[in-house]
């Protein structure tokens, strides 16, 4: 067994409007205007489904 270990450092960039534009054409990017997207909350509650199907 070899005890040679190689240390490698990699850096990544945050995905942003600027970096999305720099992606290669082979990578699918959003077709909508990302500046018009607003944050929201989605609640997927499965409790009622479970209770309805217990009986």
Question: Is residue 19 within 8 Å of residue 13, measured between CB atoms?
Answer: yes
Q: Over range 12-23, report the average pLDDT.
A: 88
Two tokens, residue 25: 């054409």
Question: Is residue 30 within 8 Å of residue 37, measured between CB atoms?
Answer: no
Residue 43 has pLDDT above 90, yes or no: no
Sorting pLDDT into bands at 50, 70 and 90, what band is 25?
very high
Q: Over range 6-21, report the average pLDDT.
A: 87
pTM, entire model:
0.41
Choose between 2 and 41: higher pLDDT: 41
Sorting pLDDT into bands at 50, 70 and 90, what band is 26?
very high
């Amino acid at each position: 067994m070899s005890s040679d270990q190689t240390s490698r450092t990699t850096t990544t960039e945050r995905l942003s409007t600027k970096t999305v534009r720099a992606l290669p054409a082979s990578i699918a990017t959003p077709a909508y205007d990302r500046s018009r997207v607003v944050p929201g909350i989605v609640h997927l509650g499965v409790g009622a489904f479970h209770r309805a199907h217990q009986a």
